[in-house]
């Protein structure tokens, strides 16, 4: 099923599987209550972690999202998504997404699902941790750490969290667990001081920090954001946070490093400059340390790209019309592995362009790609029979999928790569049958 989904990614079973027997087999699999979604997830998690097992560390971006699903009559066992006033239906989830030290995606390491209540329930400001959705973030961290210990010994997960991760339970878990992490702060947190000293806060401490340098990162295009090479001014300081547990009226002192990143001189007109206040466990003693911290957080964008490809882009999983939560989760788990592979092909072509195509494509996929490229090549092109680089193979896939070069607005993206995989799929099947 995964191989079929990769060949023809789509949200609906009827679009992925073309014959009646394939479709019936897919429905039987998804409806089989003896098969758990966790069993389906386990295979892709093992593969994701093992791909980075020889590296000293691997980034793990953790982020929440939701699937908006069709349920007009409100009969399915879904929950509320979005604003309650909009009556959206679907499922909530958190993904942990593994990215190697060069910025190439490897796959997911955790997937936590839940359904929100159908009606809004006003909650108290201070509640026990067990009643908050924060526990799902902690589960994703714990599951990922466990998977790395089992399948990626010697490789440390470097957790990357956006502002939703700036809360006392998550920070305490990361610090006390000895994890490597970078969390974007959203609060001007109080710092530890002596009882007879005035209160000191994070943002003022960062503004006065003496450790400074200038760095540059490539910013991808996004909603309301133009692609650019951003000039960043970076300052850093070691601090001790004074974390407060409002429910238990307790305070926790946790030492870590804080890094302020501000874009200056490269912000497009009409946009806000990049401004990150980062909390990290990585050292900040040298310029190289600071560059790595800034680079680490820039890799958090990869999970946004995954969710776009998975939900509404190449895989369109939100278009599924499956009838139950369990079936949706199983199908969505298969499709997130497909979305991860498409994103991996895309990033390999950009980050490691000279690697052979065999680093990700199968022998039959490469052979089918060469044969079809020869049929559609330009007059001036010469297509040899040798294995192309991953950059060249990705460009050929994109060309077959309708990529028009520079006029497309950038290098090949997930949509044209998906169309290329779909285009070569029939020939791949013929070549595989010939080997039987």
- The C-alpha atoms of residue 288 and residue 388 are separated, in whole angstroms, by 35
Question: Up-side HSE of residue 267: CA atoms within 13 Å toward CB?
Answer: 13
- The C-alpha atoms of residue 3 and residue 341 are separated, in whole angstroms, by 11
Residue 180 and residue 292 in contact, taking contact as beta carbons nearer than 8 Å: no
Percent above pLDDT 70 for the chain: 97
Quick one: DSSP state of residue 301?
H
CA angle (319 as vertex; 315, 320 as ends), nearest 5: 95
Per-residue pLDDT at 177: 96
Q: Which of 65-69, 176-180, 198-202, 305-309 has the lowest mean pLDDT?
A: 198-202
The stretch 136-143 carries a mean pLDDT of 97
Q: Tokens 């089918």: give the residue.
A: 368
- Residue, of 408 and 351, whose pLDDT is higher: 351
Which band of pLDDT confidence, cut at 50, 70 and 90, is reported for residue 131?
confident
Per-residue pLDDT at 436: 55
The stretch 10-19 carries a mean pLDDT of 90
Q: Which of 85-89, 171-175, 344-348 has the lowest mean pLDDT?
A: 85-89
Record the tokens describing residue 402, joined without a space.
């309708």
- The C-alpha atoms of residue 239 and residue 170 are separated, in whole angstroms, by 17
Residue 342 and residue 417 in contact, taking contact as beta carbons nearer than 8 Å: yes
- The C-alpha atoms of residue 358 and residue 314 are separated, in whole angstroms, by 22
Per-residue pLDDT at 155: 96
- The C-alpha atoms of residue 80 and residue 87 are separated, in whole angstroms, by 7
Per-residue model confidence as pLDDT tens digits over 229-271: 999 999 999 999 999 887 667 888 999 999 999 999 999 999 9
Per-residue pLDDT at 221: 79
Q: Which of 197-211, 251-265, 333-347 has the lowest mean pLDDT?
A: 197-211
The stretch 362-388 carries a mean pLDDT of 90
Per-residue pLDDT at 125: 67
- The C-alpha atoms of residue 136 and residue 161 are separated, in whole angstroms, by 13
Q: Say if residue 389's pLDDT is above 90.
A: yes
Using DSSP, state whether 380 is helix, strand or coil.
coil
Q: Say if residue 186's pLDDT is above 90.
A: yes
The stretch 402-423 carries a mean pLDDT of 85
- Residue, of 247 and 71, whose pLDDT is higher: 71
Torsion (CA) 325, 329, 331, 334 in degrees, nearest 10: 180
Q: Say if residue 225's pLDDT is above 90.
A: no
Per-residue pLDDT at 407: 65
The stretch 169-185 carries a mean pLDDT of 96
Q: Which residues pair with 62 in a beta bridge?
A: 96, 161
Question: Up-side HSE of residue 30: CA atoms within 13 Å toward CB?
Answer: 26
Choose which CATH entry (3.60.150.10, 1.10.740.10, 1.10.3720.10, 1.20.1440.230) describes domain 353-434. Answer: 1.10.740.10
Q: If you average pLDDT over every residue of the chain, what do you get?
A: 91
Query: pTM of the full predicted structure?
Result: 0.93
List, by residue range, all CATH 1.10.740.10 domains of the chain. Answer: 353-434
Alpha helix segments (H runs only) across 112-232:
134-151, 168-176, 202-207
Which band of pLDDT confidence, cut at 50, 70 and 90, is reported for residue 434?
confident
- Report, in angstroms and rounded to the nearest whole number, the Rg of the chain calculated over CA atoms: 23
């Amino acid at each position: 099923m995964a191989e079929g989904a990769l060949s023809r990614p789509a949200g609906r079973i009827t679009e992925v599987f073309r014959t009646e027997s394939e479709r019936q087999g897919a429905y039987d699999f998804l409806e089989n209550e003896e098969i758990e979604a966790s069993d389906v997830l386990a295979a892709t998690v093992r593969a994701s972690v093992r791909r980075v097992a020889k590296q000293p560390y691997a980034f793990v971006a953790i982020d929440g999202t939701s699937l908006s699903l069709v349920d007009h009559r409100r009969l399915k066992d879904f929950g509320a998504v979005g604003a309650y006033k909009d009556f959206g239906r679907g499922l909530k989830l958190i993904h942990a997404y593994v990215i190697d030290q060069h910025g190439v995606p490897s796959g997911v390491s955790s997937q936590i699902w839940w359904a929100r209540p159908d009606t809004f329930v006003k909650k108290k400001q201070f509640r026990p941790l067990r009643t908050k959705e924060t526990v799902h973030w902690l589960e994703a961290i714990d599951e990922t750490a466990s998977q790395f210990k089992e399948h990626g010994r010697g490789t440390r997960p470097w957790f990357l969290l956006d502002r939703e991760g700036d809360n006392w339970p998550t920070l305490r878990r990361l610090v006390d667990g000895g994890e490597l992490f970078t969390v974007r702060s959203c609060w001007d947190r109080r710092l530890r001081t002596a009882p007879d000293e005035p209160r000191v806060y994070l943002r003022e401490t960062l503004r006065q920090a003496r450790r400074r340098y200038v760095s540059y990162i490539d910013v991808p295009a996004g909603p309301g954001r133009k692609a650019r090479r951003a000039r960043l001014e970076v300052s850093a300081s070691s601090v001790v946070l004074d974390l407060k547990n409002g429910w238990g009226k307790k305070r926790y002192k946790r030492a870590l490093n804080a890094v302020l990143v501000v874009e200056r001189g490269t912000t497009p007109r009409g946009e806000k400059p990049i401004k990150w206040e980062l909390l990290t466990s990585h050292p900040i003693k040298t310029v190289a340390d600071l560059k790595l911290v800034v680079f680490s957080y820039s890799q958090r964008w990869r999970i946004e790209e995954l969710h776009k490809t998975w939900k509404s882009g190449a895989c369109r999983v939100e278009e599924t019309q499956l009838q139950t939560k369990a079936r949706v989760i199983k199908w969505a788990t298969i499709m997130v592995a497909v979305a991860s592979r498409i994103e991996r092909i895309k990033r390999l072509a950009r980050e490691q362009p000279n690697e052979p195509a065999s680093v990700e494509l199968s022998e039959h996929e490469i052979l089918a790609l060469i044969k079809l490229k020869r049929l559609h090549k330009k007059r001036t092109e010469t297509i040899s029979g040798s294995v192309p680089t991953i950059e060249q193979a990705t460009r050929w896939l994109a060309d077959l999928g309708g990529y028009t070069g520079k006029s497309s607005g950038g290098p090949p993206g997930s949509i044209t790569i998906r169309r290329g995989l779909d285009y070569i799929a029939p020939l791949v099947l013929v070549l595989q049958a010939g080997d039987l």
